[in-house]
Amino acid sequence: MSTRLAPTITQDTAFFWEGLKTDQLLIQRCEGCGSLRHPPRPMCPQCKSLSWSAIEATGRGTVISYVIPRHPPMPFFDDGYIVALVELDEGVRLVTNLIDISAEDASMGLRVVVRFERFDNDLVLPLFAPENIR
Ligand SMILES: [Zn+2]
């Protein structure tokens, strides 16, 4: 697979990107009220606590919505790539790509599982494939 643009890694998001390198999908958990949040950010939107830890997600979820961008063509993606909003079983949502599935077979409600995809610039991204083909 081709190289992807590397994400901007900050003090607040480093744990997430480091976890992916060891095949862990980590989700921020508020130490004040226990709520989970993603993407990572310094303060809990529920209780305003700045204290947090991380839990490892199961990596299983459901496609909430998806799009197949056509224009403009993106240099890092083959034509027909799928951008999806996946809700993890833990309840948080991620924007990701679906893999190992054709655009025709993608659907809302599809059960998916994470795949830790490695790119040639030392980047690991959590992409999702249909649960039943693993
Ligand atoms: Zn909280």
Q: How confident is the model over 75-84, as pLDDT tens digits?
A: 777 778 999 9
* 50-67: average pLDDT: 97
Report CA(110)–ligand 1 centroid distance (Å). Answer: 30
Report CA(58)–ligand 1 centroid distance (Å). Answer: 21
Q: Which residue has the tokens 């095949």?
A: 23
Evaluate if residue 123 carries a pLDDT over 60. Answer: yes
- The first and second tokens of residue 31, run together, are 């130490």
Evaluate if residue 2 carries a pLDDT over 70. Answer: no
pTM value is 0.91
Give me the pLDDT at residue 74, please.
78
10 Å CB burial of residue 5 (0-12, 13-18, 19+) is exposed
Report CA(22)–ligand 1 centroid distance (Å). Answer: 27
- When pLDDT is cut at 50, 70 and 90, the band that residue 23 belongs to is very high
Helix/strand/coil for 17: helix
Report yes or no: 77 and 5 within 8 Å, Cβ to Cβ: no
